[in-house]
């Protein structure tokens, strides 16, 4: 799927977008490559506006969509009381409607997939969202959302869901003709610099803003492939296999051109971003931009001074921190890590339902089915194979995991060790969870 993409399997149309959202990286190009510096190692895994733009060109229905981060506002369509009982530190962001990705929420409104699966927040959560019907639809569409917990013992990290498919279809992954046509149409928008810029829109400033695929363009893709959409099994090793007897603790990351990507781009006449970055790097332009990037971020953490981000995602004043989340900034073995106390406040009432009566900041195209939605929506999910959260777990009953150090330098921190692979060998280590 790459940064973003759509494939088919047994007639099921599956889309996805990678990364998390940060406003000041959202409008940059894909300019990062190994070896990373302190700025690029943080921005490399953030969603870009061009990927959202390309996915919004899709017109045909999507069966399944996947994202790492949750779509913002999806928590209003599931059991918020149960979610906050499990993760009380989400409360402030849920109340202010700032938890999750606004870019993913934008895609949820546009694509209206049957299923949406996410990760990131390390908690099992199901929701049922009814979309408003447009003039062309006989019945309004609905999305069944499911996020699962971290893959650790005694956690809800696995669930089986039955999805309707075409039993006569082949058992190979297939290209999606509409998506290929969109890639070809938007190829000229590729940006491999760290400069911020906006995608074309119907605002009088762009001669063209609609890059959706016409039926003729989709037909051309099918003819190019001789109507054979099967994705080739052309995996190629680009790095040596890991040898535990010869650990490479100080190995320097190398920028590698992936032959599968090269073949894919050549087949459809697309720009190979990795190759373009490598060319720019050899010309010496990327290195200069890396040095400028750190200065730019220090000067303006919300992006370009001339073009402020369309999203307000400054959460520096929020106290909700997920103790289960592993921050890439802190990767580095079993060194001591700082963590803030996130014990639930005794001032918070056990019933949060009244707290959300006046804070629904819903996009206009989303229809809220009920106030806190809880039991009725989970019944709908159970019918489709998405079971509601099992037995309630209190945060007080669970030991804290690691989190990133407090950006505000809060006092009251304590040191803990990050869990590692030994957890799978120690049968009783996580029983308290």
Instruction: Identify the pLDDT of residue 325.
Output: 56
According to DSSP, the β-strands at 125-131 and 115-118 are unpaired
pLDDT tens profile 5-52: 999 999 999 999 999 998 889 999 999 988 888 889 889 999 999 999
Q: What distance in Å separates the CA atoms of residue 359 and residue 130, rounded to the nearest whole number?
A: 19
pLDDT tens profile 177-208: 999 999 999 999 999 988 888 899 888 888 89
pLDDT over 80 (residue 314): no
Closest CA to 189 of 287, 308, 307, 49: 49
pLDDT over 90 (residue 351): no
Q: What distance in Å separates the CA atoms of residue 250 and residue 245, rounded to the nearest whole number?
A: 15
pLDDT over 90 (residue 69): yes
Closest CA to 57 of 192, 181, 216, 203: 181
Structure tokens at 356: 């959300």
Q: Categorize the per-residue pLDDT at 412 as very low, low, confident or very high, splitting at 50, 70 and 90.
A: very low
Q: Categorize the per-residue pLDDT at 346 as very low, low, confident or very high, splitting at 50, 70 and 90.
A: very low
Closest CA to 84 of 299, 263, 352: 352
What is the signed CA dihedral for 84, 87, 88, 91, rounded to 10 degrees?
-60
pLDDT tens profile 87-135: 999 999 999 999 999 999 999 999 999 999 999 999 999 999 999 887 7
H and E: helices and strands count for the chain: 12, 10
According to DSSP, the β-strands at 64-67 and 115-118 are parallel
pLDDT over 60 (residue 161): yes
Domain ranges of the chain: 4-237
Cβ–Cβ under 8 Å, residues 182 and 211: yes
Instruction: Identify the pLDDT of residue 283.
Output: 80
**Percentage of the chain exceeding pLDDT 70:** 65
Instruction: Identify the pLDDT of residue 354.
Output: 30
Residue keyed to tokens 């934008």? 106
Q: What distance in Å separates the CA atoms of residue 85 and residue 75, rounded to the nearest whole number?
A: 13
Interior CA angle at 317 toward 312 and 320, to 5°? 100
Instruction: Identify the pLDDT of residue 204.
Output: 80
Q: What distance in Å separates the CA atoms of residue 392 and residue 350, rounded to the nearest whole number?
A: 13
- For residues 399-421, average pLDDT: 43
pLDDT tens profile 259-270: 999 999 999 999
Instruction: Identify the pLDDT of residue 210.
Output: 94
Higher pLDDT, 237 or 369: 237
Structure tokens at 15: 């889309």
- For residues 378-404, average pLDDT: 44
Structure tokens at 348: 């918070």
Q: What distance in Å separates the CA atoms of residue 366 and residue 36, rounded to the nearest whole number?
A: 40
């Amino acid at each position: 799927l790459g940064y973003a993409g759509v494939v088919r399997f047994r007639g099921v149309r599956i889309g996805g977008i990678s990364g998390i959202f940060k406003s000041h990286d959202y409008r940059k190009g894909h300019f990062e490559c190994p070896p990373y510096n302190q700025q690029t190692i943080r921005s490399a895994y953030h969603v870009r506006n061009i990927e959202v733009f390309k996915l919004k060109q899709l017109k045909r229905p999507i069966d399944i969509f996947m994202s790492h981060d949750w779509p913002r506002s999806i928590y209003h369509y599931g059991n918020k009381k149960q979610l906050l009982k499990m993760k009380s530190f989400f409360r402030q962001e849920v109340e202010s409607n700032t938890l999750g990705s606004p870019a993913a929420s934008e895609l949820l409104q546009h694509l209206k997939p049957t299923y949406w699966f996410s990760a990131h927040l390390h908690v099992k959560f199901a929701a049922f969202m009814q979309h408003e019907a447009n003039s062309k639809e006989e019945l309004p569409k609905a999305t069944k959302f499911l996020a699962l917990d971290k893959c650790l013992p005694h956690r809800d990290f696995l669930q089986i869901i039955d999805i309707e498919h075409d039993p006569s279809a082949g058992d190979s992954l297939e290209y999606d003709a509409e998506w290929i046509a969109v890639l070809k149409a938007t190829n000229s928008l590729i940006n491999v610099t760290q400069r911020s810029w906006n995608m074309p829109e119907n605002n009088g400033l762009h001669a063209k803003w609609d890059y959706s695929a016409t039926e003729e363009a989709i037909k051309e893709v099918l003819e190019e492939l001789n109507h054979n959409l099967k994705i080739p099994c052309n995996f190629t090793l680009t790095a040596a296999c890991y040898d535990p007897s010869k650990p490479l603790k100080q190995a320097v990351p190398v920028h590698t051109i992936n032959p599968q990507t090269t073949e894919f781009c050549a087949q459809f006449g697309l720009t190979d971003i990795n190759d373009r970055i490598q060319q720019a790097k050899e010309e010496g332009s990327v290195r200069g931009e890396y040095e400028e990037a750190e200065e730019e971020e220090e000067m303006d953490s919300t992006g370009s001074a001339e073009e402020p981000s369309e999203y307000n995602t400054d959460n520096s004043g929020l106290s909700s921190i997920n103790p289960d989340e592993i921050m890439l900034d802190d990767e580095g073995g079993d060194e001591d890590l700082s963590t803030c106390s996130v014990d639930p406040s005794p001032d918070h009432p056990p019933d949060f339902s009244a707290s959300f009566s006046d804070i629904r900041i819903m996009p206009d195209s989303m229809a809220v089915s009920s106030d806190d939605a809880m039991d009725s929506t989970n019944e709908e999910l159970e019918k489709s194979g998405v079971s509601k959260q099992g037995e309630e777990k209190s945060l007080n009953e669970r030991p804290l995991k690691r989190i990133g150090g407090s950006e505000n330098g809060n006092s009251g921190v304590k040191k803990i060790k990050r869990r590692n692979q030994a957890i799978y060998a120690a049968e009783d280590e996580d029983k308290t969870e």
